[in-house]
Structure formats: structure tokens, C-alpha cells
Structure 1
Amino acid sequence: MYIKRAKDGRIELISREATPDCREFLPAESPELLSFLMEEPSSPGAAHFQASDLAFVRVLEDVLEVLMDKGVISFTDLPEPAQQKVMERQTLRRRLSGLSLVGGDDEESGVI
């Protein structure tokens, strides 16, 4: 994602593509970018914590996938509610990947 910073260094604007205003690149998983997306004006500390949670969820997804790939556990070993959540996350991830949200050129303006 490409960003524009305010004079104080905070992220001010985000774009999927480089624009005259948004020139600096940040990876989509950047804690600073996630924090900006989740930030509530009254609680920037909470936004950082939520961004950290999102990043950690991704780590857990990867660990679960590795364990299943290595045969340490199987999908059916998980409780039914966990299976449903895993399937939901996989579906959402496929949809988001299909939309090319990071660096995609199918949007007209690309500015969030």
C-alpha cells in the first residue's frame, strides 16, 4: 500500500497504487498501516493492540496449517466451532486475494 504522511509523520492517506500524494510504500501487514486502519481517534493504543491481534491471528493460522500439512493434527481433530472458523477464514482470505486488495489495479481510483 502507498501512503501519504501528515507533517507530524502519521499516516494520513492510503492508496493501493502510487499516486502524486501517496508515494511511500508500506507492506499491507505493516503494524503502522494496520493501526491506522483500525484507529479510533480516542484510543490509538487500543488500535495498535488490535493491529497486533490481527497479525497474531495470521501467525496462528500459519501454525495450524503447518501442523495439518505435517500430519501432526487433522482438520477433524478440531472442535466443530473451530472447524467452522477455520473454513470461514480460508473463504475470506480467498475472496480478499481474488479481489487483489494489495496492489490490485481493478479499482478506478485505488484510494481508500
Structure 2
Amino acid sequence: MLYAKLDEQGDIIDVAPYQNNEFTQLVAPNDPFVAEILAKKLDQESSQELLTSSDQDMMRVLEDLIDLLTEKRLIQFTELPMAAQKKLLSRKFVRGIHTGNSDSLIGEIRDDDALI
């Protein structure tokens, strides 16, 4: 996602991969003005900040996808490699703390769930 900084006339003067008090307007990266600004910024700055922001957003998408697939019982969480399980549970725990969510990490065990 990209956010634009606007001048007094409402024209885009800068873009950033985050939203704050200056960068308030959500914009499409294929907008000609945005693409021109991005090209200039990429020539001047490292693209690492854009990649980092994109990676964080993508990680959240993957976490939500895994949650959806397990809720629909298309995959079992335990089928994931142990390292992936630990990372996902750790992130879910930390997100729960930050959002005040007191739900169990594993969720409720239904009667038809087999325990190993």
C-alpha cells in the first residue's frame, strides 16, 4: 500500500509505504504521478524500506490465509513444519497482546477433533 502527501491544491507531491499525519491519502502504485515519484525515489533512495513494508504486509496476508485454511479444515496446523508452527504461534501471541485479544492460541477443541 502506498500513501501520498498532498500539497494545498490536492496534488501528490510525495509517497510513502506507510500512513501518518503527512502521508494520508491511499494511492495506487500504477497512478502516473505516483509511478513518476516512485521512479525518482527509487533512483535516490534504497528500495529496502518499500520491500520491508511490503514484506510485513505480505506476512500478515499469509498468516490470515493459514488461519482460513485451518478453520475450513483444508489443512491441519500440525502439517506445517515445526519451525513454521512456532513462528506463527509466536506472532499470533504477540498480536493478541497488542490487540487485547484474550482468545486461546489454539482455539476450542471440537468433539470431532482427533488428539494425537
What is the total number of aligned residue pairs between the two structures?
75
Matched with 1:17 is: none
Show the counterpart of 1:72.
74
- Structure with the bigger RCO (C-alpha within 8 Å, sep 6+) is 1
Stretches of structure 2 that go unaligned for 5 or more consecutive residues are: 8-12, 27-44, 101-116
TM-score (norm 1): 0.51
Change beyond 3 A, Cα 1:71–1:56: same
Which residue in the other structure is 1:95 paired with?
A: 97
Q: Which amino acid aligns with 1:67?
A: L
Give the CA deviation at 1:95. 1.5
Indicate if the aligned counterparts of 2:15 and 2:23 stay in contact, CA closer than 8 A. Answer: no
Post-superposition CA distance 1:59-88 (Å, at most 9, x none): 111110111001111111112111101100
Segments of 5+ residues of structure 1 without an aligned counterpart are: 15-21, 28-41, 99-112
What is the percentage of aligned positions where both structures have the same residue?
30
1:49 is matched with 51
Distance 1:66 1:10 in 2: 32
- Report the Cα distance in structure 1 between the residues aligned to 2:23 and 2:61, rounded to whole angstroms: 26
What amino acid sits opposite 2:85 in the alignment? Q
Aligned partner (choices 71, 81, 84) of residue 82 of structure 1: 84
* Residue pair 2:77, 2:85 contacting (<8 A) in 1 also: yes
How has the CA–CA distance of structure 1 residues 64 and 47 changed in structure 2, closer, same or farther, with 3 Å as cutoff? same
RMSD: 3.3
CA distance in 2, matches of 1:23, 1:47: 17
Task: Write out per-residue CA displacement over residues 45-69 of structure 1, whole angstroms, 9 at most, x where no aligned residue.
Answer: 1100111111111111111011100
> Which has more radius of gyration?
2
TM-score after normalising by structure 2: 0.50
